[in-house]
Amino acid sequence: MPISIKSATDIEKMRIAGRLAAELLDYITPFVQPGVTTGELDKLCHDYMVDVQHSIPAPLNYAPPGHTPYPRSICTSVNQQICHGVPSEKQLKNGDIINIDVTVIKDGWHGDSSRMFYVGTVAPHAKRLCEITYQAMWHGIKMVRAGVLLGDIGHSIQKFAEAQGYSVVREFCGHGIGREFHEEPQVLHYGRPGTGLQLASGMIFTIEPMINAGRRDIRQLGDGWTIVTKDRSLSAQWEHTVLVTDDGYEIMTVSPGTPAPPPFVGGAG
């Protein structure tokens, strides 16, 4: 599949879809409390998408080759779950960390974002993992501009995360996005400098590193979707959808509640 370069009209549609994804994460934030089930969070998000945003939950019944249809409207990955956690009747407990990953479809365009949430009072080592993962995402984002190679973006994420004593999941990556949920290019969160595709203005893709406190090895649970750390160590992930511009980038998944960039990012973008 060729890489899609978005027109000015396309970009405006993607801004709307991205804003809705970010606003959905704003909406669900106060509900992430000890005692709530991930199934309840899914129901709240589903109803908000359908009834308030008049958007479509992209994950619901999504079925890439080799997978059964995904049964929920969001992904909820708790503690050692890396990604694609399926919402269930399991209650969140004090001290959990959870990634909530949402993708909305508005007028045929996809907005994709995820954030980490603390459930009650979280241990310092868990909080540090979430904070370092957020910074790792931004180490990748701040590299984005026309002419940059994807290998340089992946390397910047990997170098930072590994320097903090963490590992980078390699089996899952960021992706182009637009009218399709997953488009080219694949955006790896590791890599060698000076390699990979050269970015061009108008490309839109996600940067969404998955960082493990232990080893990078993974396994899939019996539901066919949920991915966990093989050594049961904690994992964290953050995700933004990013537009490549001539002189930098634009974050497409922005809302009033979007966390601010880390101080080292400065005014770029």
* Residue 159, SS3 per DSSP: helix
pLDDT tens for each residue of 106-145: 999 999 999 999 999 999 999 999 999 999 999 999 999 9
pLDDT of residue 268: 46
Residue with tokens 């893709």: 205
The number of CA neighbours under 13 Å toward the Cβ of 71 is 10
Name the percent of the chain lying above pLDDT 90: 96
Question: Please, which residues have CB within 8 angstroms of residue 35's CB and are 6 or more apart in sequence?
Answer: 91, 92, 93
* Residue from 260, 208, 215, 254 nearest 234 by CA: 215
Per residue in 144-184, pLDDT (tens digit) is 999 999 999 999 999 999 999 999 999 999 999 999 999 99
In the sheet that holds 235-237, the strands lie side by side as 167-168, 210-212, 235-237
Task: Note the pLDDT tens digit of each residue in 26-71.
Answer: 999 999 999 999 999 999 999 999 999 999 999 999 998 888 999 9
pLDDT surpasses 50 at 98? yes
Mean pLDDT for the stretch of residues 71-90: 97
At residue 267, the pLDDT reads: 58
CB 204 within 8 A of CB 6: yes
**Residue 2: which residues within 8 A CB-CB, separation 6 or more?**
184
Residue-level pLDDT at 266: 76
The model's pTM is 0.96
- Domains and their CATH numbers in the chain: 8-257 (3.90.230.10)
Length of the chain in terms of residues written: 269
Kindly state the helix (H) or strand (E) to which residue 22 belongs, with its residue range.
helix 8-28
For residues 182-191, average pLDDT = 96
Q: What is the DSSP string of 172-199?
A: --EEE-SSSSSEEEEE-SS--TT-SPBP
Report which DSSP code applies to 107.
Answer: T
**Rounded distance, CA 83 to CA 97, Å?**
13
Of all residues in the chain, what percent carry a pLDDT higher than 70?
99
Looking at residue 2, its pLDDT comes to 82
Residue 66 pLDDT: 84
